[in-house]
Amino acid sequence: MRIESIDQLNQWREKCRTEFEAQKRRILICLGTACRANGAIEVYEEFKKVLAEKNINDVSVEAVTKTGCHGYCALGPLVILEPEGTFYTKVKKINIPEIVEKTIENGEIIQRLLYKDANTKKRVADYNEIPFYARQQRIALRNAGNIDPNQIEHYIAVGGYQGMAKALTQMKPQEVIDEVSKSGLRGRGGGGFPTGRKWATCAKVESDIHYVICNGDEGDPGAFMDRTLMGSDPHSVLEGMIICAHAVGSIKGYIYVREEYPLAVINLKKAIEDAREFGLLGDNILGSDLCFDIQVNRGGGAFVCGESSALMKSVAGEIGEPRAKYIHSVVQGLYNKPTVLNNVESFATVPMIIEKGADWFTSFGTPKSPGTKVFSLAGKIMNSGLVEVPMGITLREIIFDIGGGIPNKRKFKAVQTGGPSGGCLPAEKLDLPCDFDSLTAAGSMMGSGGMVIMDDRTCMVEIARYFLGFLVMESCGKCVPCREGLYQLYQLCTKICEGKGTEEDLELMEKLSKTIEIGSLCGLGKSGPNPFVSTLLYFRDEYLAHIRDKKCPGGVCRNLITFTINDDCTGCLACIKACPTEAITGEKKKKHILDQELCTQCGSCYAVCKFDAIDIT
């Protein structure tokens, strides 16, 4: 069926909506990557099997919906029962008959499967009341976890392609650009460049062809918002790209997806096929003049390809090396043609701006960073997962109110934002508002929105070394300051971690950092020293402890720590089994003994001890 006009689209929407709403009882099963790994597919199959066997009135097998990621990955597999919104966590296959019998047939809630508030110890049934969700404002993630990403009918039923229809039938390209400019939307990939201005510049360039590219090469380790968006709501990304194509006059779009995200590729390809079938991609979309098609390109696993010019080289089948940008890619991008490159989240946000208007969008966030932003929370935090919040909310609110704070009663030490190009912010900065400018001013950056939370058992010098090591591996090698400079920084950082560093080394590292920053071509090199610079700025004491006292306060750097067994040891044998060098001996129920001669400070014993009986000094 081809949709040729806005009337046909509306008719189709009515049909989809009626069908969608006819299912009063909906059983939403999160099939995001994390829930999948924990057995969500078996849960899904089991629900279908049990419902088919039971043949309950009004609850057909179709009520079981596989959705994309819900965001609360820490508690997966997640099952949500609509219309009540009952939220079951850590659901296993064996729980299904019970859920069907008690909750679906008799409306009884199974307490032990509910979310338990860590502070109040109360069980919460309705997911809207769970702090993790209650504080969120979902625009980009509006459909994630609510619809089946593989069913275009679901997306249509919840109002999908409405923004596109409005843009194509009621707005001239310039009006679309004006609306996006007015919304103040800034690139969600990290740069924070105004999206409207980017589109306006590209549209003005005279050319036989303009390209639209979606950057789904989410390379920052610890960030997974784009993966979720592409996998959970792929049509929202396509819709944003079509609106952009209308605005800049493009006929060809590309989505460049990370190699490590196979599920996103599958769901995007399915979405593109469906959109083509219904005429939402292809020639004369909705009967308008717009002819636009999208192709998915898989990345090759190179971090630098998240950089615009490198990405465009990679799309063209070449080695992903960045180029100097005295001519911007909006003027000469892919195949030297004017190209708009936006991040996944930016594109997913655009349809809502067009549909609801710029004024609606600017009612969220701050004047300079309007709207919402998706953050991924990971590391030493209770509620790992994805959250979308208004810009300007403080780090403390995100980490403690929504994220639930630090597990195991440990102390917060730092939050790493912006991936390898960003920086680490200490506890003093927790009241900093999260927007593009505040984070940059504090020496870190928004980046794509990855937040990795670290507790007091993290060594900041070692973290700097980790990121430098990452960047050394990922430097494309084109510019000497980046290729050689980062390597030298890494070596010096390693020297400090080994307890062999000197204060002169620190000075040298600071100088070297400046050189790398000035002398590199692209963002990877320019921001490469950031992990070192920001940790030195806020955690100089820790560097000095390594250098002067030969101590690692975080208890991580092997050369500088000693493991001992204290009197809390119950003699459970766990550490004896875990120790790879057989350095620990002892009998059951008797305090174990650690031979310092044999100990390699690997931390295996510490990792398995449940009784806090291993001290690290």
Partner 1 sequence: MNVDMDKLKDIIGRSPQESNFLIAVLQDIQREFHYLPPEALTETARALNVPLSKVYGVATFYNAFSLDPRGEKVVRVCAGTACHIKGASLILEQLENGLGIKAGETTEDMKYTLEVVNCVGVCAMAPVITVNDKYYGNVRSDRVMRLVKKD
Q: Which residues bind partner 1 (CB under 8 A)?
A: 33-34, 36-38, 73-74, 76, 218-224, 227, 258-262, 297-303, 314-320, 376, 378-380, 384-385, 416, 419, 450, 452, 454, 458, 463, 466-467, 470, 474, 476, 574, 577-578, 580, 602-604, 607-608
CA distance 85 to 129: 10
Least Å distance, CB 23 to partner 1, is 29
Q: What is the rounded distance in angstroms from the CA atom of residue 314 to the CA atom of residue 258?
A: 12
β-strands 412-417, 86-88 pairing = unpaired
Q: Which is nearer to partner 1, 140 or 463 (CB)?
A: 463
Closest distance to partner 1 from the beta carbon of 450 (Å): 8
Which segments within 133-196 are labelled E, that is strand?
none
Helix axes of 234-248 and 225-232: crossing angle, nearest 10 degrees: 90
Q: Which C-beta is closer to partner 1: that of 231 or that of 481? A: 231
Length of the chain measured in residues: 617
Closest to partner 1 by CB, 142 vs 298, is 298
Distance between CA atoms of 27 and 22, rounded to whole angstroms?
Answer: 13
The distance of closest approach from Cβ of residue 494 to partner 1 in the complex, given in angstroms and rounded to an integer, is: 13
Least Cβ distance, residue 454 to partner 1 (angstroms): 6
For 293-392, where are the alpha helices, taking DSSP H only?
308-315, 344-356, 358-362
Nearer to partner 1, 162 or 376 (CB): 376
Strand duo 79-82 + 86-88: pairing: antiparallel
CB-nearer residue toward partner 1: 107 or 317: 317
Question: What are 412's two structure tokens?
Answer: 């917060």
Four-CA torsion 272, 275, 281, 287, nearest 10 degrees:
180
Q: H helices within 23-122, ranges in order? A: 33-37, 40-54, 96-98, 106
User: With respect to partner 1, which residue has the nearer C-beta, 262 or 367?
Assistant: 262
CB 235, min distance to partner 1, A? 20
Q: Min. distance of Cβ 285 from partner 1 in angstroms? A: 24
**10 Å Cβ neighbour count for 564?**
12
Q: CB nearer to partner 1: give 295 or 491.
A: 295
Q: For partner 1, which is the closer residue by CB, 33 or 236?
A: 33
Report how far residue 40's alpha carbon sits from residue 145's, in angstroms, rounded to the nearest whole number.
13
**Closest separation in Å from C-beta 595 to partner 1:** 19
Rounded-to-integer distance, Cα 84 and Cα 311, Å: 45
| Alpha-carbon 507 to chain mean position | 35
Least gap, CB of 614 to partner 1 (angstroms): 14
Q: How far apart are CA 435 and CA 162, in angstroms?
A: 29
Shortest Å, Cβ 167 to partner 1: 30
- Residues 108, 112, 117, 122: what is their CA dihedral angle, to the nearest 10 degrees? 60
Residue whose CB is less far from partner 1, 103 or 384:
384
Tokens encoding 136: 């969120």
Omega within 30 of 0 (cis) for the link into 83? yes
